[in-house]
């Protein structure tokens, strides 16, 4: 399916360029593909960085604002919920009003909310502005992909998405390092204030460089009921996944939210077949490669986010590293994603996505299997090997799955496709953390009491055992103040060995998910509609 595009250039005195079909390049900086890529990368960097940088600041926020643990959890959960629930709707807004406008609004709102968090003097204000951050981040992310799709010609799109993926990967993995430096040497407010100058730079670049691209047959109305049904279904799904570790997977509350989510998605699908201009035309999923790309993104995020969740506890609580040192130990992962993403883009352009995607997920499976062999005494060299292989495997998947989803969608739905890509990653990350967290909890529950007894430690009361299990699930040793040194050493050994056995099982499950993703990758192929995005600017 092909579509023509009409272009609105908002700069004063600019001569409107011809549509892509005319092949006439844009003049100067406005609409230049590579400068467009730099601009959207600066904006996307803020959102990706905030996904991990804030985790380092949470203890300082809790102490400074006298917040409870539940309050601090909302700092992350509020942001994540707002982002995940809003992404597809935000992508539709970009398709309707233009991706340039939604990108700039997203950047301004995200930076302003960040500054407001830094000036907040209560946990309620911090959480409120974190939710706003998530909403504006949802506007920004799909718009960035829509701009790349419309600006780059088909033969350069994979390389552009490769660099885009590199920025996201580097920002996500680099968040703990930067956060540790800022919290340790400045204050927790600086973690949020840093977004303000970055946002100003992104807006300044965007005003002068970004060119508005709109498909002629872009939607002209809003599917309000569809937005409400999808948002409610997404909220119930993500909320159930977030709260399942606290409520329990067998809890009636957990299953009520999951059931309501399923009903919501079913009603949404039914309504989309009735409305004239649906939020997500279900015919989009008749494309097997696009559907496979969405599933692949979910599976990749389950393996990656779920596995990485435990690695941070392993480095800090088992090996006793500080936040900065732990972040530095993840540099092989970050480095291979930075190096591998543009290379993956070039490889996918030459070979198509199928082989690089399958090979990438195979590398992820091997890396997760390798991580299942880590123990409390594993050295940095072996850890670095598995982290590097994980980064090398993730690079082609981040690039290729994104191109498969966006490239197989028609031009007028590029924003929705970008929202699908991001929503799939957010849901996969939540699923990975929840499911692998349940695997870890189950393993700790079954092993801790026996390991405790085998070590000759005094019996624990049921309440004490429950408290010990909670500590061990994150790799911490439940050593009470005043415990004799010899006994404390035994408790620490038991806690670390039990945690590592749980992490090993969770890593094996993640490896199995990655193997399944290899099979899904074989259903992908190059975007059929990529030519519709042939670039306007010169390369």
Q: List all residues 6 or more positions away from 484 whose beta carbon is below 8 Å from its beta carbon.
A: none
pLDDT digits (tens, 9 = 90+) for 377-405: 888 889 999 999 998 998 888 878 877 88
Please state, rounded to an integer, the average pLDDT across all residues of the chain: 80
What count of Cα atoms within 13 Å lies in the side-chain half-sphere of residue 53? 28
pLDDT digits (tens, 9 = 90+) for 512-530: 999 999 999 998 877 655 4
Q: Which of 125-129, 214-218, 413-417 is predicted least confidently?
A: 214-218
- Does position 217 have pLDDT exceeding 70, yes or no? no
* Closest listed residue to residue 55, CA positions, set 428, 431, 308: 308
Between residues 30 and 528, which one has the greater pLDDT?
A: 30
Dihedrals phi, psi of 292, to nearest 5 degrees: -65, -35
CB atoms within 10 A of CB 134: 25
139/98 Cα distance (integer angstroms): 11
Residues 52-78 have a mean pLDDT of: 75
Q: List all residues 6 or more positions away from 45 whose beta carbon is below 8 Å from its beta carbon.
A: 167, 168, 171, 198
pLDDT band per the 50, 70, 90 thresholds, residue 216: low
Q: List all residues 6 or more positions away from 218 whose beta carbon is below 8 Å from its beta carbon.
A: 95, 96, 412
Amino acid 221: pLDDT: 67
pLDDT band per the 50, 70, 90 thresholds, residue 470: confident
Q: What pTM was estimated for this model as a whole? A: 0.77
Amino acid 520: pLDDT: 92
pLDDT digits (tens, 9 = 90+) for 341-355: 788 878 888 888 889
* Closest listed residue to residue 37, CA positions, set 151, 131, 138: 151
Class of domain 20-220: mainly alpha
For the CA atoms of 426, 430, 431, 433, what is the dihedral angle to 10 degrees?
A: 140
Amino acid 539: pLDDT: 41
């Amino acid at each position: 399916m092909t579509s023509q595009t009409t272009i609105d250039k908002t700069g004063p005195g600019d001569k409107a360029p011809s549509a892509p079909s005319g092949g006439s390049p844009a003049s100067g900086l406005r609409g230049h593909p590579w400068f467009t890529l730099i601009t959207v990368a600066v904006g996307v960097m803020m959102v990706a960085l905030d996904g991990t940088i804030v985790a380092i600041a949470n203890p300082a926020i809790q102490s400074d604002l006298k917040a409870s643990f539940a309050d601090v959890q909302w700092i992350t959960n509020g942001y994540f919920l707002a982002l995940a629930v809003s992404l597809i709707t935000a992508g539709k807004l970009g398709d309707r009003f233009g991706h340039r406008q939604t990108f700039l609004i997203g950047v301004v709102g995200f930076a302003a909310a960040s500054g407001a968090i830094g000036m907040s003097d209560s946990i309620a204000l911090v959480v409120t502005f974190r939710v706003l951050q998530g909403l504006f981040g949802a506007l920004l992310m799909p718009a960035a992909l829509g701009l790349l799709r419309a600006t780059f010609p088909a033969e350069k799109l994979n390389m552009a998405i490769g660099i885009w993926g590199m920025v996201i990967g580097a920002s996500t993995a680099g968040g703990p390092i930067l956060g540790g430096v800022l919290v340790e040497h400045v204050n927790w407010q600086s973690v949020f204030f840093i977004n303000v100058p970055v946002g100003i730079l992104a807006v300044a670049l965007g005003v002068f460089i970004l060119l508005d691209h709109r498909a002629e047959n872009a939607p002209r109305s809003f599917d309000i009921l569809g937005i409400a049904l999808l948002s409610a279904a997404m909220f119930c799904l993500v909320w159930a996944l977030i709260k399942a570790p606290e409520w329990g997977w067998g809890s009636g509350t957990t299953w009520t939210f999951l059931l309501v989510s399923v009903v919501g998605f079913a009603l949404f699908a039914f309504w989309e077949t009735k409305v004239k201009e649906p939020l997500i035309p279900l015919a989009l999923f008749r494309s097997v490669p696009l559907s496979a790309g969405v599933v692949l993104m979910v599976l990749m995020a389950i393996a990656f986010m779920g596995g990485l969740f435990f690695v941070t506890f392993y480095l800090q609580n088992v090996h006793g590293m500080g936040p900065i040192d732990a972040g530095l130990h993840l540099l092989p992962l970050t480095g291979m994603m930075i190096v591998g993403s543009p290379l993956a883009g070039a490889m996918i352009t030459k070979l198509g996505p199928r082989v690089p995607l399958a090979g990438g997920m195979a590398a992820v499976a091997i890396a997760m299997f390798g991580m299942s062999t880590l123990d409390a005494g594993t050295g940095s060299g072996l850890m670095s090997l598995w982290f590097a292989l994980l980064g090398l495997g993730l690079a082609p998947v981040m690039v290729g799955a994104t191109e498969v989803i966006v490239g197989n969608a028609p031009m007028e739905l590029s924003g929705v496709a970008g929202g699908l890509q991001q929503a799939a990653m957010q849901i996969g990350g939540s699923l990975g953390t929840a499911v692998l967290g349940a695997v870890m909890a189950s393993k700790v529950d079954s092993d801790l009491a026996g390991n405790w007894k085998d070590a000759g430690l005094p019996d624990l009361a049921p309440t004490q055992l429950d408290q010990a299990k909670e500590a061990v699930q994150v790799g911490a040793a439940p050593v009470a103040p005043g415990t004799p040194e010899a006994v404390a050493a035994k408790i620490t050994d038991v806690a670390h060995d039990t945690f590592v056995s749980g992490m090993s099982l969770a890593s094996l499950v993640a490896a199995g998910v990655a193997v399944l993703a290899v099979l899904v990758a074989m259903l992908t192929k190059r975007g059929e509609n990529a030519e519709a995005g042939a670039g306007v600017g010169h390369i």
